[in-house]
Structure 1
Amino acid sequence: MTELYSRRSFLAGVLTSGTLSAGAGYVLTRREPVVLVLATGADTTGGRQLLVTMWNQLNPDAQIRTETINSSTGDQYEKFLSKKADIFNLDVIHIPRFADDNRIVPITPREGHSLLPAVRRLSQRPGHDDFWAIPFNTDVGMLYRRITDKSVADVEPELADLITKAPGQFAGQLNTVSPQTDEAFVVNVLEHALAQDDAILTEDGTLSFSLGQWREALGPVAAAVRSGRVTDEAGEGDTTRTFQRFGLRYMRNWPVSYPAVDRAERTKVSTAEIRLGGLPTGIIGGQSLAVSATSENKDIAEQAIHFLTGTSSQLLLAKYGFAPTELDAYIDQRLAESLPHLKYIRYAVESSRPRPMHRGYASFARVFAQHTHRLIKDGEQLTQRFIQDMQKEIG
């Protein structure tokens, strides 16, 4: 893959455009140095940390110190609050709880922010022009497919067809073994349900509470897993390894895995290319940066967030495999030429659905995973208790 934005050229470009100089000029007027603590999950690509390093190089009197916190859907709230942080890098599903409990403060987006509408809705404060958090990167489920011969017509498949017409050739996160893999399982189950019934989860993240609807929507994937037509893995990493090790034709995964998978698979004689396509309806995810309500440096934290989430930063993150949040990144000519698959990610984001954006999401995800795992792995039919448990958490 072409190295589109090296560290030096990226830094020079954003300084020229003024994106960084405005933030640097504000911070450099300070007389007393400060340290901003950024609570975040692990950075497996190095892209986010590179942006932090750039900020620190430009702002010696306002350094960001990253506190990496390993957490899952169920415990991010507690673990993040255990650190005295100025900035939280929140999974979007946790924003409502942090906001409802007054753990974060509103932040005004910078002028000219061209956020995709689906991304904007996840972080914007209802009824206001400001946000609870500024989107750092977005995410959406994608379908990977292995191309062995470019001269043969490549018809993009439907997810519902793969579990019946491509036995043994599709891998997804349709198993879970711990809280660390529960969320991947929940997302995959929702995507398979949507592939059968587009009305089971609405565009605003409202779930159906019809037992018959859920039984019908999840019946095909449950049958496919139990019959061995689908390879069910626990977590994105295991799914990728299975896809590569056994040369499978199809895989469901997030966009951030694409650069590494594509580079590795192109070295195989039997693989001509790895292509990305959207699911019928993917689940949107991503991370957003929020200012902690307890921070003593809220103004500087806000400046740092605008730097880390700006258009130029989005170009860099896209190079590392992250799905950009802004339209400007998707229509950037140089980026589009180097990363032609970005247009498919944009289409997938625009047609995606959010998970239930509710302060009780973590508890909902736990009971949803328990019930649907018993259905898919053990053949235990869903009962009205499934509906009651979901309603108890988010109804």
Structure 2
Amino acid sequence: MPDLYSRRSFIAGVLTAGMLSTAAGYLLTRRTPVKLTLVTGADNTGGRNLLINLWNRFHPDVTIEVVTVNSATQDQYDKFISTKADIYNLDVIHIPRFSARDRITPIGPPDGITLLAPVQRVSQVDNDPTRLWAVPFNTDVGMLYRRVTDKLAADTETALDAVIRENGQFVGQLAIEGSVTDEAFVINVLEQALAQDRTILDDRGVVSTSLGQWQRALRPLADALRENRIVTAAGEENTNALFQQRDLRYMRNWPVWYPAIDRVERKKPGTAAIRLGRLPIGILGGQGLAVAKDSEHREEAEAVIHFLTGMPAQKLLATYGFAPTAQEAYNDPEVKAAVPHLEIVRSAVEDAHPRPMRAGYADFARVFRQHTYDYLYRRVELTDGFVEGMQGALR
């Protein structure tokens, strides 16, 4: 597949050149220069930094300064608001808390994009699809990677429940090493539960409070872990490492890792290809750019956000492995040719379920992690305290 990567690099170069004129189209002139502060987590791909550099090149009077804040899901709110910002780059799960605490202000979407329905729902102001609390920068969804050893043999997607019945051929983020990996564990457990019962968490993020339903949905995962049929890892990068080191057949991870994984793994003599498949229902992820309520430069911040999230930016980010937020990016012929697995990513995003979109999500995740970890690894049965804890956190 060397032609694929040559084409992907070529398309990325063409899109980058095209973005120069797009950046110029947002030209703002000021007598007094403004430096906007964008508070965000780390960028492991370089795609976001490229877009920011393009903006700064054409806007010497309105520049973006990136402040990278390393945080876990539980403490992102506290760490972000303690840093003076004009723009926040928020994990989707934090949007409700920032809006409930009056830390961000609504904004309209950029022109010329149609957000995928699940992405729209988790970002928009209640009952007003024309206003967003945060403009989606990228979306995300859990995917099932599979190693193909013979391209001539039949290669059909395997369901997740069948994968965990195999002996030691699947690795996912089902271990914990400190609070930074807690959220990955929560997401993976939710996806395993959804593979057994799609009503355990609905497409609006409403979680079941039936104890019996949770006991039934998590029993296959508990059995697989106790019988050592699953390779467990803490966090995304550790999962990648185990998948590669042990030549495992399956891995659960986000699509953004696909270019790096595929480029290396397909060079192995025993690997013909790495392919992406859907989980029965993946958990919706992603990030959105929001204007800080106390920013003194709202007009400039909105212009920056529209540049970073508009159609040209979406196409460019797709070549870096990001899942686009807009329907138009998935339909673009150049992007489809450069990133042929995007269609299955789109299908997974459109069927994905969000986590409970409430201001109390961090407390929910803490309760969920504690009870399910104790159940899966310490054989502590789930009780009414589990569902009562979830209900209390989401009130």
Structure 2 contact 23–54 (Cα < 8 Å) conserved: no
CA–CA separation in structure 1 for the residues paired with 2:145 and 2:50: 27
Which residue does 1:46 correspond to in 2?
46
Which residue does 2:56 correspond to in 1?
56
SS of the aligned residue for 1:75 comes to: helix
Q: Supply the AA of the counterpart residue of 2:30.
A: R
Which residue does 1:136 correspond to in 2?
137
CA–CA separation in structure 2 for the residues paired with 1:134 and 1:250: 33
Structure 2 contact 311–328 (Cα < 8 Å) conserved: yes
Which residue does 1:291 correspond to in 2?
291
Which residue does 1:252 correspond to in 2?
252
Deviations 1:246-300 (A, max 9, x none): 0000000000110000001011000010000110000001000000011110110
Task: Give structure 1 stretches of 5+ with no counterpart.
Answer: none
SS of the aligned residue for 1:214 comes to: helix
Deviations 1:113-143 (A, max 9, x none): 2111111111000111211010000000000
Structure 1 contact 167–230 (Cα < 8 Å) conserved: yes
Q: Supply the AA of the counterpart residue of 1:185.
A: F
Task: Give structure 2 stretches of 5+ with no counterpart.
Answer: none
Which residue does 1:74 correspond to in 2?
74
CA–CA separation in structure 2 for the residues paired with 1:175 and 1:281: 21
SS of the aligned residue for 1:74 comes to: helix
Deviations 1:128-179 (A, max 9, x none): 1211010000000000000000010001000011111x21100011111211
Find out whether 1:12 has 2:13 as its counterpart: no
CA–CA separation in structure 1 for the residues paired with 2:12 and 2:385: 54
TM-score (normalizing by structure 2): 0.96
Alignment of 1:69-108 (within 5 A): 69-108=69-108
Report how far residue 377 of structure 1 moved.
1.2
How many matched pairs? 388
Q: Supply the AA of the counterpart residue of 1:272.
A: A
CA–CA separation in structure 2 for the residues paired with 1:143 and 1:354: 18
CA–CA separation in structure 1 for the residues paired with 2:271 and 2:390: 43
Structure 1 contact 20–307 (Cα < 8 Å) conserved: yes
Alignment of 1:1-395 (within 5 A): 1-2=5-6, 3-7=9-13, 9-15=14-20, 19-24=22-27, 27=28, 29-128=29-128, 129-164=130-165, 166-395=166-395
Structure 2 contact 170–251 (Cα < 8 Å) conserved: yes
Report how far residue 15 of structure 1 moved.
4.7
CA–CA separation in structure 1 for the residues paired with 2:59 and 2:352: 37
CA–CA separation in structure 2 for the residues paired with 1:59 and 1:10: 19
Residues 10, 187 of structure 1: alpha-carbon distance in 2 compared, 3 angstrom cutoff: same
Report how far residue 222 of structure 1 moved.
1.0
CA–CA separation in structure 2 for the residues paired with 1:232 and 1:335: 34
CA–CA separation in structure 1 for the residues paired with 2:96 and 2:380: 33
Report how far residue 21 of structure 1 moved.
3.2
Quote the RMSD (CA, aligned, Å): 1.0
CA–CA separation in structure 2 for the residues paired with 1:49 and 1:238: 24
Q: Supply the AA of the counterpart residue of 1:131.
A: L
Structure 1 contact 4–335 (Cα < 8 Å) conserved: no
Report how far residue 6 of structure 1 moved.
4.2
4+ aligned runs moved over 4 Å, structure 1: none
Structure 1 contact 88–289 (Cα < 8 Å) conserved: yes
Residues 172, 64 of structure 1: alpha-carbon distance in 2 compared, 3 angstrom cutoff: same
